Amino acid sequence: MMQEMALTHNEVLERLRNAGDTLELGCEKISDEGCKALAEGLKGNQTLTSLSLRSIGALDVGLEALAKALQCNGSIKELDICGNHPGPVAVEALIKMLEENDSLLDVNSGLFDNERQYSNIFRPRPAMSEELAERYRKFQCIAEKRTLQNKVLRHVTVPLLLSNSVYLGGSLIPQDLMQHVTNDYLCSKGALQDRL
């Protein structure tokens, strides 16, 4: 059986140039050099809003480069990195990316699928230490919380504000209310069963 060849540096950049607002590289194999090329291209790209890197076979070095590039990219709103197995350096870079990039609205780390049911897609490699496994869980929780908060904001809070703007007087939504609504949403979907 022939092994699948990884996309080259130039192929990755060509796909990025032709992507428009969505780039799906899911299940394509991309080397660390290809990931670095994509990271460089993302730094200046302001048109891409959705990036799927599902099961690209990226390793620690490549995922770290992508996470660092995404820290300052304000145009990407959706990111899918299911099926990859970052090491300790990449996990820390991914956590920092989520902490610093407020424009990412939907981050699919593989903890939940489209129906938000538990899945085992994005998990530490079996030989990883318990400490690294805990860092993975932290990343996944941050990603899921961000996604759910933005989902609540887009589908519940904004319509509520628009329909009741006179009642609220244009006030900001208190953080504890936002947290309460987010927690209610999570509990209603059964998503917090093993996470609290």
Mind listing the pLDDT tens digit for each residue in 108-130? Answer: 876 433 333 333 344 445 556 78
Global pTM value: 0.67
Residue environment code for 73-102, b if the CB has 16+ CB neighbours within 10 A, otherwise e? beebbbbbbbbbbbbbebbbbbbbbbeebe
Residue 180: pLDDT band by 50, 70, 90 thresholds? low
How many whole angstroms separate alpha carbon 38 and alpha carbon 76?
13
